[in-house]
Structure 1
Amino acid sequence: MSGIVVMMNGLPGAMGHEVSQACIRRGLTLAPVALTGGGQPADCQVTEGSTSVTVKLVGPDAAGSQRKALEELKKAHGNRLVIIDFTHPTAVNPNGDLYTSVGVTYVMGTTGGDREALMKATNDSGVYAVIAPNMGKQIVALQATMERMARDFPGAFSGYKLEVTESHQKTKADTSGTAKALVSSFQKMGVDKFEMDDIKMLRDDESQKAFGVSEEHLNGHAWHTYTLKSGDGSVEFQFKHNVSGRRTYSEGVADAVQFIAAKCAEKSKKRTFDMIDILEAGVMQ
């Protein structure tokens, strides 16, 4: 689908900038308006190569202002408009409700919130959406592999103790959605009792550097280690994925935008997708 216009909700945040730049590199048009949280500047500048876009930021302060901005973009661009959301866990459901009520296609990269309520609102509305806790292609593939392993080999790690440590930049407020997804798979494979609250979150510089994160990537990284030990301690498995920077995720978001825009254009009967669907379709660049 050509002529895609993206509204990048999450600017002026670092992920918002990174994703905006990835979309520009793909030849997508960045809308000159975006929704943001309270206390943000009136606008921001996104620059990629020779392209520079001034984006007006619409906060939640004035009643109805965000809905009005969204409705105006929808009226101007119709089904060519795709919303990208990298905001805050507390905004997941309010934003999802806004997108579905206005009837716009969206990509939800923000983690947290009530995911069941988000899925229900999306499915009930009939809008097209990609909802995924992780947009990195290789990590999505690992996640899918673990889900299939859990399905095909339940009890494979029966009696094993699980330890999970995940490190992200301090601005990430919630536990990693990817970590939760992999823990769910390990639970199905029979590990000893392990709750999501048992995931160790690193959000301060000192513990992150001790974990191996370089100084230059403290403000943008995702390092995860999953360790499984047999009951007697004689066998240990370790799964690890360390991402420094945000580029791999931003390129995955651009893939998701192009995928969901195409599904909307072809009037696909299935309307809600995740990154595994995109990976299986073989369209990730």
Structure 2
Amino acid sequence: MLSLLPQAAIVVPRLHPRTRGALRAIMAEKLETSASVASSSVSFPILVNGCTGKTGSAVAEAAVSAGLQLVPISFSSTGIPGRTVRVSSTDIRIHGPSEREHVLSSVIDEFPNVVVVDYTVPEAVNANAELYCKLGVPFVMGTTGGDRQMLYKTVQDANVYAVISPQMGKQVVAFLAAMEIMAEQFPGAFSGYKLEVMESHQASKLDISGTAKVVVSCFQKLGVSFDLKQIKQIRDPKKQLEMVGVPEEHLGGHAFHLYHLTSPDETVSFEFQHNICGRSMYAEGTIDAAIFLYKKIHAKADKRIYNTIDVLREGSMQ
């Protein structure tokens, strides 16, 4: 309905280009200052395991950008022990599996408030978690794979603070939270529907996407019959370019997921899709999770095991 009432005229003064430029500079400076204040409000040592990988390296860079103290040590099962990798202005020395316990004990002695972040390989998840729990060090497990039930039991038995999640990107975390809520409140809503799942990641990703596993579990609660073996994993760069539509510059780091549902009579279909290029989303979300965990430790929170939905729910993922 159109309003016939007279409208007050709003006159917006036109600013000289130089004035607009000056205002932009002032606003940018204010935003930069605000971000600096926010990041400097908490600072603690952080050890990133898996710095030889691209995600681990991105997390270490994000830690420095957030004003955290990057411990110049990292464990890796794929890197060459004894060599160093440079992150920002810090040289990080790489240690192999056989050195883990001795080196981590020394780190804890020197940095008693350290928080560990793990971005290693699926095969190392449980052994690394056992070590962190044995030494009582809080950690963020960003590595997917491993025996997840055993992982949670290990942490519960040790009563160690930890954030464990297959996904650190906040928008995807919100999507997963919405899926969980839908599965809990509307069980069986998609009974009889056929599900097809495609996930494309860089060729170096060895396991099925942890995010895809969570989404599939939600659809199973919603009544869909589906086995994880039915997930179409695409790791061939040529197929990723031609079939999936991944930009060439992001073949080495991306996450493209498609979940397609079809009704029994094929008259209704639903699609859920998310396409992520690069690793900055995960890196920044991981640092948000580490800061969240550090605050929980110092608040002496009763709850010990968290996921990134907990982090997002408290508004801690910026």
Q: TM-score range by the shorter chain?
A: over 0.9
Q: Which residue matches 2:144?
A: 111
Instruction: Kindly state the Cα deviation for residue 156 of structure 1 after the two structures are TM-superposed.
Output: 1.1
Sequence identity, in percent? 47
Question: What TM-score, normalized to structure 1?
Answer: 0.95
- Between the aligned partners of 2:271 and 2:86, the Cα distance in structure 1 is 40
- Aligned pairs for 1:50-129 within 5 A: 52-60=89-97, 63=98, 65-78=99-112, 80-129=113-162
Distance 1:130 1:281 in 2: 14
Q: C-alpha offsets along residues 43-98 of structure 1, whole Å, 9 cap, x if unaligned? A: 333344xxx100000012xx4x21011001101111x2010000000000000001
Give the equivalent residue in structure 2 for 1:166: 199
Equivalence for 1:250: 283
* Matched residue SS, 1:71: helix
Question: In structure 2, how many angstroms separate the alpha carbons of the residues matched to 1:56 and 1:260?
Answer: 25
Aligned to 1:146: 179
In structure 1, the residue matched to 2:167 is 134
Tell me what 2:85 maps to: 45
Which runs of 4 or more aligned residues in structure 1 lie more than 6 Å from their structure 2 counterparts after TM superposition?
none
| Aligned-partner residue type, residue 56 of structure 1 | R
Q: Does 1:11 align with 2:11?
A: no
Task: Say whether residues 1:195 and 2:189 are aligned partners.
Answer: no
Read off the aligned partner of 2:164 and give its amino acid letter. I
Which secondary structure state, in structure 2, belongs to the residue aligned with residue 164 of structure 1? strand
Return the match for 1:33 from 73, 90, 115.
73
Is 1:186 equivalent to 2:219 in the alignment?
yes
* Residue deviations 1:80-124 (CA, integer Å, cap 9, x gap): 201000000000000000100011010000000001111011011
Cα distance, 1:214 vs. partner? 1.0
Q: Compute the displacement of 1:38 (Å).
A: 4.4
Instruction: Look up the equivalent residue of 1:219 and give its one-letter code.
Output: G
Per the alignment, in what secondary structure is the counterpart of residue 111 of structure 2?
helix
Q: Distance in 2 between matches of 1:174 and 1:107?
A: 19
The answer to whether the 8 Å contact 1:21/1:46 transfers is no
Indicate conservation of the 8 Å contact 1:36/1:58, yes or no: yes
Contact 2:50 2:75 (8 Å CA) reproduced: yes
1:218 aligns with 2:251: yes
Amino acid paired to 1:162: L
Corresponding letter in the other structure for 1:204: D
1:220 and 1:147, CA in 2 relative to 1: closer, same or farther beyond 3 A? same
| Counterpart residue identity of residue 166, structure 1 | E
**Letter matched to residue 239 of structure 2:** S
1:141 alignment partner, SS class: helix
AA at the equivalent of 2:106: E
Between structure 1 and structure 2, the one with the greater Rg is 2
Contact 2:187 2:221 in 1 (8 A): yes
Give unmatched runs, 5+ long, in structure 1.
none
SS of equivalent residue, structure 1 residue 226: strand
Structure 2 residue runs without a partner (length 5+): 1-40
Residue 271 of structure 2 aligns with which residue? 238
The Cα shift of 1:39 comes to: 4.8
Q: By percentage of residues, which structure has more strand? A: 1
Whether the aligned pair in 1 keeps the contact of 2:51 and 2:85 (CA below 8 Å) is no
How many pairs align? 277
AA of the residue aligned to 2:90? V
Give the deviation of 1:232 after TM superposition.
Answer: 1.4
Task: Say if 2:167 and 2:308, in contact at 8 Å, map to a contact too.
Answer: yes
Residues in 2 aligned to 1:3 and 1:251: alpha-carbon distance in whole angstroms:
15
Asked whether the 8 Å contact 1:168–1:203 carries over to 2, the reply is yes
TM value normalised by structure 2: 0.85
Query: Given the alignment of the two structures, is residue 208 of structure 1 paired with residue 245 of structure 2, yes or no?
Result: no
Aligned to 2:4: none
1:271 aligns with 2:265: no
CA RMSD of aligned residues (A): 1.1
Deviation at 1:41, TM superposition (A): 5.3
Aligned counterparts of 1:235 and 1:206: Cα–Cα separation in 2 = 32
CA drift of 1:260 comes to: 0.4
